[in-house]
Amino acid sequence: MKRTIICSVIALWLGGCGYHVAGHSSVLPKNLRTIAVPAFENKTTSYRIEQRLTSATVHEFLAKTPYRIISDANGGDAVLRGKVLSLEVLPLLFENSSPSVPANVTRATTMLVTMKCEITLEDRESGKSSITPTTSSSATSMKSPPM
C-alpha cells in the first residue's frame, strides 16, 4: 500500500501541479537543450519522497521531451530545482476486513493525497528564472488494492 501511495503522489504532482511537457506547452525557453535536475529537497518527514519525485520528473522529461537531462547542477543550459514542502495522506473511505481475516479489522480503501511543492527553473546563461518560483498544491483521491 505504501508503494501505491508514493506512486499516486508522484502521478498527482506531475499531473496536478501545473506541470507541462514540451509539445503541450511553450513555457520553456527555446534555447534550452540540456536541463540539470539535481535531487529535490525534502522539507517533510516522508522518507525518500524527494528521491522518488526527482526520479519521476527525470523520467517524464526523458519520455516526453527532446531535452537532455543531467543531474549535475553545474552543467546544462538550465537548472530545475524542486522542494517538497508538505505531504498529507488522509483516509476517506473504509471497509471491514474480509471473513477470512480472523480479527474484525477496518482498513482505508480510498485516500486523499495532498502535496505542496515549490519549483524553479533557472537559465544558467542569464541567471534568471525562466519559470517564476511557484508553490503549487494539488490533491487527488486513490483506491488501495483489495487484500
**What tens-digit pLDDT sequence spans the chain (147 residues)?**
445 444 455 555 555 444 444 445 556 778 889 999 999 999 999 999 999 999 999 999 999 999 999 999 998 899 999 999 988 888 888 887 666 666 677 878 888 888 888 888 898 887 777 666 666 666 666 666 666
The domain made up of 2-20+28-143 is a member of CATH 3.40.50: yes
Give the predicted TM-score (pTM) of the model.
0.67
9 phi, psi to nearest 5 deg: -65, -45
* The pLDDT value given to residue 80: 93
pLDDT recorded at residue 133:
60
> What radius of gyration do the chain's Cα atoms show?
18
Q: What per-residue confidence (pLDDT) applies to 23?
A: 45
Domain ranges of the chain: 2-20+28-143
pLDDT of 101: 64
Q: What's the pLDDT score for residue 69?
A: 95
User: Measuring CA to CA, how many Å separate 15 from each of 90, 106, 125, 128, 134?
Assistant: 20, 31, 29, 26, 15
